[in-house]
Chain A
Amino acid sequence: EAGVAQSPRYKIIEKRQSVAFWCNPISGHATLYWYQQILGQGPKLLIQFQNNGVVDDSQLPKDRFSAERLKGVDSTLKIQPAKLEDSAVYLCASSLGSFAFFGQGTRLTVV
Chain B
Amino acid sequence: GDSVTQMEGPVTLSEEAFLTINCTYTATGYPSLFWYVQYPGEGLQLLLKATKADDKGSNKGFEATYRKETTSFHLEKGSVQVSDSAVYFCALSDGGGGADGLTFGKGTHLIIQP
Chain B associates with chain A: yes
Count class of interface residues, chain A: 20 to 34
Q: Tell me whether B106 and A104 are in contact (CB under 8 A).
A: no
Mark out the residues of chain A between 12 and 39 whose CB falls within 8 Å of any chain B CB in the assembled complex.
31, 33, 35
Q: Tell me whether A95 and B43 are in contact (CB under 8 A).
A: no
Q: Tell me whether B99 and A43 are in contact (CB under 8 A).
A: no
Q: Tell me whether B101 and A45 are in contact (CB under 8 A).
A: yes
A105 to B45, CA, bound (A): 12
Q: Tell me whether A97 and B43 are in contact (CB under 8 A).
A: no
Chain A residues near B98 (CB, 8 Å)?
95, 97-100
A40 to B49, CA, bound (A): 23
Q: Give which listed residue, A99, A103, A104, A105, contacts B46 with CB less than 8 A.
A: A99
A82 interfacial by beta-carbon distance below 8 Å: no
Known: A102-B44, A102-B45, A105-B43. A40 touches B106 (CB 8 A): yes
Q: Tell me whether B43 and A42 are in contact (CB under 8 A).
A: no
Q: Tell me whether A98 and B99 are in contact (CB under 8 A).
A: yes
Shortest distance between the CB of A89 and any CB in chain B (Å): 10
Q: Give which listed residue, B49, B100, B104, contacts A43 with CB less than 8 A.
A: B104
Closest B-chain residue to A98, C-beta based? B98
Chain A residues near B107 (CB, 8 Å)?
41-42
A62 interfacial by beta-carbon distance below 8 Å: no
B21 interfacial by beta-carbon distance below 8 Å: no
Q: Tell me whether B101 and A48 are in contact (CB under 8 A).
A: yes
Chain A residues near B89 (CB, 8 Å)?
42-43
Binding site for B on A (CB under 8 A): 3-4, 31, 33, 35, 40-45, 48, 56, 91, 93, 95, 97-105
A-B contact pairs, 17 of them (CB 8 A): A4-B43, A33-B102, A42-B107, A43-B89, A43-B104, A93-B44, A95-B98, A98-B97, A99-B34, A99-B46, A100-B46, A100-B98, A102-B44, A102-B45, A103-B43, A104-B42, A105-B43
